[in-house]
Amino acid sequence: MAGPCAIESEDMAMRIAEKILTITDQYQIPFIFKGSYRKANRSRIDSFTGIGDEKALKILAKVGQTFDVPTVTDIHESTEAAMAAAYVDVLQIPAFLCRQTDLLIAAAKTGKFVNVKKGQFLSGSSMKHAISKLQDSGNTNIMLTDRGNTFGYQDLIVDYRNITEMKAFHVPVIMDCTHSLQRPNQDSGVTGGNPALIETIAKAAIAVGADGLFIETHPDPANAKSDGANMLHLDNLADLMAKLVRIRAAII
């Protein structure tokens, strides 16, 4: 799963998707284009939230149709599930909201694939309850994504035992290589990050058996409207994928 944090414009989304697809096709890696149609969890009221729900969702749909790839976006309230499902293939539950029963049920009832991000406050094994809520609501199209655990007030740490624990549930397990390097709760109200370690997180995840990776990427992270501090520069994606493919081949 890869793409910008938020949909900023049609032109940018199309350019990013095209470049990622070129790379993933080269290495025969399945690709799901990621873009948030709206950013609801913001530190400050003046932070960028989006270009408009319908406009952004239509861009996601166009990316999917143009490049024949599945798409994924976040939803934040149960009322958003059906709306977003009309445009994308995968509904993503943000980590902070992974215990929200109504949200999980609403996502499940769309029949779409549901990717649940593990809360920063949860163990991998405790995600069995999120899976049960989705399954009990009639949906078995489930993926889980790790994005690190809270470590103090302004940092995260990745415990790779969580990948093994979540794989025991027999659903695809993804490693979020960019959000796991966030430095949240900064006094400035703008989340920090450490993108220099994206390669480290990704290599380790593949080595311990992650089924896929989640990477936010942008052609100009310094000027991205959301989460630029922890995004991978788009120009660095091809080299990273080349290294990860070699690791994957070595452990199979």
89: left (phi over 0), alpha (psi -120 to 50) or beta: alpha
- For residues 8 and 225, the answer to whether their CB atoms sit within 8 Å is yes
* DSSP code at position 233: E
Residue in 115, 117, 116, 110 with CA at minimum distance from that of residue 87: 110
CATH code for position 149: 3.20.20.70
Strand partners, 33: 2, 71
Q: How far apart are the two ends of the chain, measured CA to CA in Å?
A: 21
**Model pLDDT, residue 16:** 98
* DSSP code at position 68: T
Structural domain span for residue 210:
2-251
Residues 158-174 as b or e (16 or more Cβ within 10 Å = b): bebebbebbbebebbbb
Computed on alpha carbons and rounded to an integer, the radius of gyration of the chain in Å comes to 17
**Cα pseudo-dihedral 182, 61, 81, 76, rounded to 10:** 20
Instruction: Tell me the three state secondary structure of residue 169.
Output: coil
**Model pLDDT, residue 40:** 77
To which residue do tokens 């009309």 refer? 86
Question: Degrees (nearest 5) of the Cα angle 44, 158, 88?
Answer: 60
Q: What is the mean pLDDT of each run of 10 residues along the chain (252 residues)?
A: 96 98 97 93 71 96 98 97 98 97 98 98 97 98 96 91 97 96 66 83 97 96 82 96 96 87
Q: In angstroms, what CA-CA distances link 39 with 73, 113, 114, 197?
A: 10, 20, 18, 24
Residue in 216, 247, 6, 212 with CA at minimum distance from that of residue 115: 212
Domain count, the chain: 1
Tokens of 121: 């406050």
- Cα(176)–Cα(32) distance, integer angstroms: 13
